[in-house]
Structure 1
């Protein structure tokens, strides 16, 4: 399997090259040359597999055994998921007869990003160790300078995945004052010498733009050997496809007596900002996982929800004044800050596939080239004008696999409260609550045979303010007793290491990397 850029070009990279490169030199994202089909007997063979076993099966469809053998894949998966607190890694929790929550927060940093970033950290180490072992005595070992942006959870998950790794330096940019106190503490209290937290006065989109600019700077990139941990890195998406398969099998085992999987439709509802988590579901579906439409759940930063309504992918709504207070960047501050994003990086990958479905050409190569050219023109227009509108045929292709809903803060708070006061007394973080609220709205129009799995992306303890605000006045709620894990006790009081950058300026960030990166 080879990988190419969404924006075209002749380069075809191995899995190793795609993972270590991260972002393509032309600004595109790497995607596989083809989406593989599932083996004929996958439903019976994989039915009782563990997360590690499913990881080996799914990843091996995208990675040549000449690159990583099945035995090596198993070792990487076992090492990555031994750090999780739950034996299932991603357990499925039943809320009611037709609603389930896929809990993705049982990793080291209590967020779904751990699933991919524990694996990615081990892949980086595996590839660098293998490359350096092949070098002649006296040759300079290869190193990697990992640069990423975070709206909260990616940063801590990446840091925990890469802390202490040989020949790796990691720089994580976060928007100052725009991540939760727990999220900030998780990142900045890691004092390993190869970890560098950079607090940027700006928004997540500013941080993300700086990261992309650094990757596009060929001279700087070549000097520091930049590596990506954001979901622009293909390995992130690939790792996340696994829990769609795991949850599918666990869902089947929890169906009511007399109800067959063939008689129901399974709908995944995914709270998303950067579109990576739900894109993994799209790949799983295209591989052959028999599921219904994927539902995009956004907060007030609703560029994705607006796209499925109008076909316009635009930073600022050109038709409706929503009335929220926004900062100069256009980002609305919400109770679900990890989704406070204007431009969703991974949406580019989906746009490429939508363009390909509607491309003209006599051969597959012609269609791919046409799709890349169209995608490149769309991304250029988005960058220059802040908006792009796709043809009706492309929008209809998008609607064939996706639905979209927008949820505002009052509904988020009400959803947290209603689920805590329900018979199950379930405590949801605000991002999961966005998904649950969207699921409830969709359930009102779903057919009687539709069941829902809502992806729970973070532990509620990471968002003390929002959860406490939602449950204020509930005499039965005690945050420390009902939510706070022992790992968080005293976290806010620990020593911290953080580098402040007073404005969103790529040159200032370059200076930080030049100063602290390993030679």
Structure 2
């Protein structure tokens, strides 16, 4: 399996090469030259597999340059019940991603049972083990530069802490995350973890990561890698739980499933798009946004118009406070027939404010990709949190509430609907308290997290200052 850039100006690479590299040299994102196709026989054989064994089968299609025995060992070490030990259904902890069915018939695909209580752990724990493996094989080191709107940062840091040959420099928007999210990241004292709070929004932090990645000389000299969802390894790992959720929600492979995905940077739902392109019987991909509704606007109108920092709302589902969704480029590449010249033309228009496909031939092709969308507000989140708690006795986080709200209003018939859970409620205790007049209990071992000392560097949203910080801490 080889990987190409959406911009079409970079040579094809192996899985291990792009795992460490992040953005392609031409500024594009990597995708497989063609999506592997899953047969009916494979679907039937995979239905009863454990999560670790299923991960091995699917990742074997993408990471063809890693020996099978090594990849199997990495998957087995990553997806262990004791790593995902905060399950609400302890008897199903070995399932890794069990489904909780609400009384109204919507299923919650539990993805937040990992060490940082967010779905990002599902891919990041694997990425940490893959990074360590590839670096050891090559005798190399790497400086990971990432940006987070909330959960990516802590998931990356917990996955990479103490890993040989790895340093993590994580940018986050200063004061824009929940207190629990900040404590998870900033309380880590590991010598290879560096937290930088950028004075701005997530999009400012993400722009810095892209600018550093596009400085090819600096990237090469300081061995800059990425763990944001621009990293293909993240997306490949997330494909696995779509298959696992499908098998858990159906009796046989003749059935279809609809997945509703709270979406900010488009990485999570992009994995669902890829699973569908591989042949998984997904009937609908329902995209849910918060007040930052750039993606909902596109799927309803054909116009993609990212907002500036001043126009990006600070909301109670902060991990989705994103107006420039990096992984959207991967989907548009498929939408325009994998034409890199057309993709590059559109992204030049993005730099000028956006593009509109509503009258283009490509827009007529959208229906075949099964996307629909909706959005949610703070009032919607509060109402959804209250209704789910009243009917099921279950506290859900704010992002998952966005997903349930949108799933309820999108007409889906003849198939189960699964909402991809984003995080556990304790990560957004302030809004849970507002909605329910009670706070969620922290899992054992995390109750005093917010009282721990925090280690953080605050700086302006300035590329050169971030570079200088990396240089100073890489010698």
Q: Same fold (TM over 0.5)?
A: yes
- Whether the 8 Å contact between 2:144 and 2:168 is mirrored in structure 1 is yes
Correspondence for 1:172: 170
Correspondence for 1:441: 409
Q: 1:388 aligns with which of 355, 360, 369?
A: 355
Q: 2:241 aligns with which of 217, 240, 243?
A: 243
The CA distance in 2 between the partners of 1:81 and 1:63, in whole Å, is 17
The CA distance in 1 between the partners of 2:10 and 2:328, in whole Å, is 22
Correspondence for 1:406: 375
The CA distance in 2 between the partners of 1:88 and 1:40, in whole Å, is 23
Q: CA deviation at 1:120?
A: 0.7
Q: 1:195 aligns with which of 193, 200, 203?
A: 193
2:311 maps to 1:342:
no
Correspondence for 2:443: 485
Q: CA deviation at 1:409?
A: 1.0
2:428 maps to 1:463:
yes
Q: CA deviation at 1:40?
A: 4.1
Give the secondary-structure state (helix, strand or coil) at the position aligned to 1:487. coil
- Whether the 8 Å contact between 1:163 and 1:194 is mirrored in structure 2 is yes
Q: How many residues align?
A: 464
Q: CA deviation at 1:284?
A: 0.7
Of structures 1 and 2, the larger Rg is shown by 1
Correspondence for 1:153: 151
2:88 maps to 1:90:
no
Give the secondary-structure state (helix, strand or coil) at the position aligned to 2:416. strand
Deviations 1:41-82 (A, max 9, x none): 123211111110100110111121xx2122111111122223
The CA distance in 2 between the partners of 1:94 and 1:396, in whole Å, is 35
Compared CA separation, residues 261 and 419, structure 1 to 2 (3 A)? farther
Q: CA deviation at 1:377?
A: 1.1
Correspondence for 1:304: 295
The CA distance in 2 between the partners of 1:74 and 1:375, in whole Å, is 36
Deviations 1:161-220 (A, max 9, x none): 110111111100000000111011100111110000001110000000000000000121
- Superposed, 1:252-271 pairs within 5 Å as 252=250, 262=254, 265-271=256-262
2:465 maps to 1:500:
no
Q: CA deviation at 1:261?
A: 6.2
The CA distance in 2 between the partners of 1:470 and 1:353, in whole Å, is 40
Q: CA RMSD in A?
A: 1.4
Compared CA separation, residues 93 and 116, structure 1 to 2 (3 A)? same
2:384 maps to 1:421:
no
Q: TM-score, normalised by structure 1?
A: 0.87
Correspondence for 1:219: 217
Give the secondary-structure state (helix, strand or coil) at the position aligned to 2:164. coil
Q: CA deviation at 1:128?
A: 0.7
Q: TM-score, normalised by structure 2?
A: 0.95
2:22 maps to 1:15:
no
Give the secondary-structure state (helix, strand or coil) at the position aligned to 2:170. strand
The gaps in structure 1 that reach 5 residues or longer are 133-141, 254-259, 317-326, 357-367, 473-477
Question: Comparing 71-80 with 334-343, which one deviates more in the overlay?
Answer: 71-80
Compared CA separation, residues 292 and 315, structure 1 to 2 (3 A)? same
The CA distance in 1 between the partners of 2:452 and 2:342, in whole Å, is 50
The CA distance in 2 between the partners of 1:20 and 1:48, in whole Å, is 33
Question: Comparing 505-514 with 36-45, which one deviates more in the overlay?
Answer: 36-45
- Superposed, 1:283-294 pairs within 5 Å as 283-294=274-285
Q: 1:129 aligns with which of 136, 140, 143?
A: 136
Give the secondary-structure state (helix, strand or coil) at the position aligned to 1:293. strand
Q: 2:310 aligns with which of 329, 345, 357?
A: 329
2:471 maps to 1:514:
yes
The CA distance in 1 between the partners of 2:361 and 2:388, in whole Å, is 39
The CA distance in 2 between the partners of 1:33 and 1:293, in whole Å, is 25
Question: Comparing 81-90 with 406-415, which one deviates more in the overlay?
Answer: 81-90
Correspondence for 2:90: none
Correspondence for 1:365: none
Correspondence for 1:360: none
- Whether the 8 Å contact between 2:10 and 2:26 is mirrored in structure 1 is no
